[in-house]
Amino acid sequence: MTAACTIREARTSDLDALVELLGMLFSLEADFAVDARRQRDGLLQMLEGAKNRLVLVADTAGVVVGMATAQVVVSTAEGGPSLLVEDVVVRPESRGLGIGRALLTRIEAWGTRLGATRLQLLADRDNAPSHDFYRACGFMPTNLVCLRRTLP
């Protein structure tokens, strides 16, 4: 990662840039729809200051070039806290510089401080580059499938 880029916690003033980044991410993933209002609402809830949620941005000279979020869940399998990692995306012109890895490393440090023993995430089946990225960052595939049901 270049020295000019820093990883920091997001602020409400980053919201427009974060919504744009989520738009890029969700336009790649068949299971999600780009909806700026929903993405803004979700981010606002994430930014409310709860100690079990983290929104990180990669900031290059005041420009938000990447983001990632994490939330703590209690895992009965682990017998303690575990992290759900989501919303990992870097602007196209800033990819390949180590920013994605730096975001995950910061999440890992945060989770470790909270006693988490596992990071878990979902990746689109067809997004092979993201699988390579996560493998390079130490994530291993599982035998789980993701099922979901929408509530009215």
Ligand X SMILES: CC(C)(COP(=O)(O)OP(=O)(O)OC[C@H]1O[C@@H](n2cnc3c(N)ncnc32)[C@H](O)[C@@H]1OP(=O)(O)O)[C@@H](O)C(=O)NCCC(=O)NCCS
For ligand X, the binding residue among 17, 90, 107, 119 (CB under 6 A) is 90
For ligand X, the binding residue among 10, 46, 88, 107 (CB under 6 A) is 88
Stretch that binds ligand X, among 10-18, 38-46, 83-91, 112-120 (CB under 6 A): 83-91
**Cα gap 73→75, rounded to integer Å:** 6
Query: Whose CA is closest to 66, among 88, 45, 83?
Result: 88
Q: Phi/psi at 28 (nearest 5 deg)?
A: -90, -20
**Cα gap 152→149, rounded to integer Å:** 10
Of 120 and 127, the one with the shorter C-beta distance to ligand X is: 127
101 binds ligand X (CB under 6 A): yes
Reduced to 3 states, what is the DSSP secondary structure of residue 26? helix
Structure tokens at 51: 């100690």
120 binds ligand X (CB under 6 A): no
Location of structure tokens 């790649």: 28
100 binds ligand X (CB under 6 A): yes
State in angstroms the smallest separation of the CB of 31 from ligand X.
Answer: 11
5 binds ligand X (CB under 6 A): no
For ligand X, the binding residue among 7, 14, 70, 133 (CB under 6 A) is 133
Of 80 and 98, the one with the shorter C-beta distance to ligand X is: 98
Of 144 and 151, the one with the shorter C-beta distance to ligand X is: 144
Q: Which residues pair with 53 in a beta bridge?
A: 71
Reduced to 3 states, what is the DSSP secondary structure of residue 59? strand
81 binds ligand X (CB under 6 A): no
Distances (CA, A) of 126 to 11, 28, 98, 131: 32, 9, 22, 9
* Binding footprint of ligand X on the chain (CB under 6 A): 25, 28, 88-90, 95-101, 123, 127, 129-130, 132-133, 136-137
